[in-house]
Structure 1
């Protein structure tokens, strides 16, 4: 049994100019960040200098619907950015240790092509790839050749089949399938190449994949859903969960609930890492931190404020309200992102927010936890959750980029290290090794071994 102290894991959750909705207007922000490769290179290298486990970019197949709010479109910087796998393939060549998490949708992607791209990224990065599995809450069906956005339950049923199929495709080649013996002229052992021969409700795929088994066996599988089917999917298939929790009690409940589901799938508690997002606003003093927070909040244009509210109050006429009126209950009529709807609904009801307070709360981190304070106070907040059954890791959500990530690395990480909570050096060369996750065995090899045992009996 290991006697080493449990260590916190850290990810840098990158939104191009920063997580605040008005980040691009801040004097310290890189305004063209979304399409600036030098900016992303700096961020990845800063996170690696801080010995972060991974960098992550959220992604969606959706673009901004200009017809709904052209004035808000004029003022948002979040509509144009790099496709994540392409970005990570480039940045893997200027880093050595940090992992790369890319979001890809089980609703709007093809399993074979997705498996191929992530396996390739794992080779290109030498074992540092991860897939953030999402079902896509937003209705973007008009960008694709499908009849409409699937219902929530249907999306998760498809996701279950999708993830299993992708893992099967990653197992197409056994680890030692490639002989490459120049003298004999034998390159490959055909007995170690497998067809998935999958025929399911949503997909029919023969295989094999035309990429060898990934360096890590499978790229690390990440999931971000917190609804009931999302939690169950994560308990069965995921190795890390990106979650949003506002309160310590909610974080503990989520942590306990999901960890408690693992045993039915033959999994241990340490095989799934829970990583809530945290939006840290730093200052040398509490007053300075609050001033920094107030300044960035002041950059939200009224058209953006009302657009935020309109997105949450679909079907409700807000024209008779002022921003200082109490926020009405949010409508519960969506088949879109159910877990995020519950999160923001609880935020409104728990704190009796006005509409102004509501949009300001969402403008920062979209429902993730916001902590305003000194580096020591940020470290205190993280340590409390980490040591009391609420988190294994944290997804750091810098308000302004690149400066807020640099400040966190230079000011908060040394405190976490001094307290013995975070590494001084990387433990391994792959993302799995650094996260403390085991390399999965090949499913076809496991199945063959089980059949041999049964035959012997």
Structure 2
């Protein structure tokens, strides 16, 4: 294949022990990886040496509801993502640090404050993967019996983004003069109070962190449903998506990019990065043997529970495991992932067992098992044929699955001129080629609020309180 002047972007999607459902059982896996900082430090520094654009952490604010039998055979504990990324910011210099935080069970002020702090700690390398919660068990941890309805979750998410970005814009970039001689810490006319009142949120502000180094942390999204695509077209700068075929990936790429113009956005300012699950061998047989070793570790109870959860929550244990996937009720969780799995089963005539074995590694993302050359061929094809701007690499197990990709595939991508040899800048935005957003209070996108007033009466002076 011919070389391209563009270069693709790469994310390292790091599940604690790896993406395969049985990764923690692999002989070379770090079984306690979820709570092992040294493990994360080593693999993230390896990704940085390889010049990955970013590392990415998924998250759910609950243990998935599964039977005690399947749960007891699953790696279920891990660090809270922003806490972990804050620690990793001190031992890395260039790689982007992206965390998943749901708009369904968080408040905008908390999220804005945490990500602004992470952006300062990392020198401008933070990113927020915006999701609406798909795990029904999360509702039970936040005073609810069940999830909000799917469309309502996305309306809440859209307003959530508006509040968060307004909070990040609470201060002009040059607001803080910190003049010891005059005693002026900040310029009063460079403070903006969002004073948001909407359908879901009432948030006065301002944020008690200065405007982030990147303006906003990079905005990432993972939803592929129709509401998810629309939200992404309006707000996202990176999309992590699951696509199985070139045609489907091209259709998704066009669908999202074609929406950008009506939001006043340029196509190159949104990077679409499908997930890939690479199992790499120096020969085809070596790659197949590596994959077979992982597949042999799948416990049937775990595979069935994984499929039940990802396909919408229907308990599939009541159906013959070697029979076809039944018709499933519409999910109130991840609609695009449910459709992908149903289409996968129907297209390939898979049984329930066949489907859970198929998704045990890639979770519905694209699975690539082969040599460095064959994997690079497939990545190059999707990149050159407008199906992807880059890829989110999902190592089968850690650390070996990541180091295989770094040692074998990345040199092949560089030989073809498809991937960088050095970082372009210091911030995640610079490396992704994304513009730094202007402060919307300065651009007139929102009316500028007036003078800040105390939300409550200030406390009386100490002397007055003492005499009372």
Alignment of structure 1 residues 148-297 onto 2, 5 Å: 148-297=146-295
Find the counterpart in structure 2 of residue 376 from structure 1: 373
Find the counterpart in structure 2 of residue 31 from structure 1: 31
Deviation for aligned residue 1:7: 1.1
Q: Please, what TM-score do these two structures have when normalized by structure 1? A: 0.94
Q: Matches of 1:265 and 1:319 in 2, distance apart?
A: 47
Alignment of structure 1 residues 38-437 onto 2, 5 Å: 38-65=38-65, 68-77=66-75, 79-139=76-136, 140-146=138-144, 148-311=146-309, 312=311, 314-315=313-314, 318-319=317-318, 321=320, 323-325=321-323, 327-437=324-434
Q: Matches of 2:14 and 2:339 in 1, distance apart?
A: 24
Deviation for aligned residue 1:39: 0.3
Q: Matches of 1:227 and 1:116 in 2, distance apart?
A: 29
Deviation for aligned residue 1:317: 5.8
Secondary structure of the corresponding residue to residue 130 of structure 2: strand
Cα deviations across residues 344-369 of structure 1 (Å, max 9, x unaligned)? 11111111112221011110111000
Cα deviations across residues 429-457 of structure 1 (Å, max 9, x unaligned)? 00000000000000011018999xxxxxx
Q: Matches of 1:255 and 1:235 in 2, distance apart?
A: 11
Q: Matches of 2:187 and 2:312 in 1, distance apart?
A: 59
Residues 120 and 213, structure 2, Cα contact 8 Å, conserved in 1: yes
Q: Please, what TM-score do these two structures have when normalized by structure 2? A: 0.92
Residues 281 and 371, structure 1, Cα contact 8 Å, conserved in 2: yes
Q: 1:148 and 1:354, CA in 2 relative to 1: closer, same or farther beyond 3 A?
A: closer
Residues 313 and 330, structure 1, Cα contact 8 Å, conserved in 2: no
Aligned residues: 443
Secondary structure of the corresponding residue to residue 274 of structure 2: strand
Secondary structure of the corresponding residue to residue 231 of structure 1: helix
Deviation for aligned residue 1:186: 1.5
Residues 280 and 397, structure 1, Cα contact 8 Å, conserved in 2: yes
Root-mean-square deviation over aligned CA pairs: 1.6
Cα deviations across residues 189-244 of structure 1 (Å, max 9, x unaligned)? 01000100100000001110000000000000001110001000000000000000
Find the counterpart in structure 2 of residue 438 from structure 1: 435
Identify unmatched segments of 5+ residues in structure 2. Answer: 449-468
Identify unmatched segments of 5+ residues in structure 1. Answer: 452-457
Residues 329 and 345, structure 1, Cα contact 8 Å, conserved in 2: no
Secondary structure of the corresponding residue to residue 280 of structure 1: strand
